């Protein structure tokens, strides 16, 4: 198995070090390197990748802002000299956080774990017609067809179903991995919709029942590709 990856890093020494580390890993294939997040976003729009090694403090768009703008995220490994962003990174479902200066051994442990996770996902069957989510002190079995939309609320998700709603503590990345990708899409940093439940779309707002859901600027293209393939 080969995993394509890119580096988004504006410091030359850190970039060169990471590129050299990647070259030692047989299952990683570097397909691009960028000094700023905007160029990286344009690249992966046309050429999706499996893994992004991402710095945080960059201009004009930070690594965190880049993550918040991405409707569908590949594996993200943050490489930063600052530990302050670790919590925010995990809220955005990053796979790992490498604190500079990190050793090759620490890098190797991270990418080996990532490879194992990718293999498991490749061997898993397609998502079933139901998912299990933990809500308070019980695990609920939710029918996928009943899910209308999902709202993010910091560390929690509020899942709206036909006639009821369920709160669960997990990330967008985890819930999206359980749902059929051809039907469920993130349209805003705080919203996922079931495209089969959309009643109408007007002025970048989605209507499902009585709920109006905004489409974020950075999510428009991916959303419209699904609606108008």
* Per-residue pLDDT tens digits for 84-114: 877 777 777 789 999 999 999 999 999 999 9
Question: Using the 8-state DSSP alphabet, how is residue 100 labeled?
Answer: S
Residue 193 scores a pLDDT above 70: yes
Residue 122 scores a pLDDT above 60: yes
Residue 222 scores a pLDDT above 90: no
**Long-range own/partner contacts, residues 104-109 (CB < 8 A, 24 or more apart):** 104/21, 104/24, 107/18, 107/21, 108/25
Q: Which tens digit of pLDDT belongs to each residue from 2-57? A: 899 999 999 999 999 999 999 999 999 999 999 999 999 999 988 889 999 999 98
Question: How far is Cα 76 from Cα 80, in angstroms, rounded to an integer?
Answer: 12
Residue in the block written with tokens 């709603």: 165
Question: How far is Cα 220 from Cα 205, in angstroms, rounded to an integer?
Answer: 11
Listed in sequence order, the residues at least 6 apart from 20 whose beta carbon sits closer than 8 Å to its beta carbon are none
Residue 125 scores a pLDDT above 90: no
pTM, two decimals, is: 0.58
The domains found in the chain, sorted by start residue, are 3-123 (3.40.50.2300), 130-227 (2.40.50.1020)
5 within 8 A of 49, measured Cβ to Cβ: yes
């Amino acid at each position: 198995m080969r995993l394509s990856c890119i580096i988004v890093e504006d410091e030359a020494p850190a970039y060169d070090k990471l590129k050299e580390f990647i070259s030692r890993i047989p299952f990683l294939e570097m397909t691009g390197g960028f000094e700023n997040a905007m160029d990286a976003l344009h690249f992966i729009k046309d050429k999706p990748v499996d893994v992004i090694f991402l710095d945080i403090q960059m201009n004009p768009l930070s690594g965190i802002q880049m993550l918040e703008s991405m409707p569908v995220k590949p594996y993200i490994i943050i490489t930063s000299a600052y530990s302050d962003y670790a919590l925010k990174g995990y809220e955005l479902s990053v796979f790992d956080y490498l604190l500079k200066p990190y050793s090759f051994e620490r890098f190797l442990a991270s990418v080996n774990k990532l490879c194992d996770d990718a293999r498991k996902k490749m061997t898993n069957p397609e998502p079933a017609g139901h998912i299990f989510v933990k809500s308070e002190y019980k695990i609920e079995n939710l029918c996928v067809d009943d899910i209308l939309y999902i709202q993010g609320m910091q560390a929690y998700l509020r899942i709206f179903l036909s006639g009821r709603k369920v709160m669960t503590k997990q990330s967008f990345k985890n819930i999206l991995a359980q749902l059929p990708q051809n039907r469920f899409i993130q349209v805003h940093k705080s919203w996922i919709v079931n495209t089969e439940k959309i009643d109408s779309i007007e002025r970048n707002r989605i209507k499902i029942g009585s709920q109006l859901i905004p489409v974020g600027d950075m999510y428009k293209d991916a959303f419209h590709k699904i609606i108008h393939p």
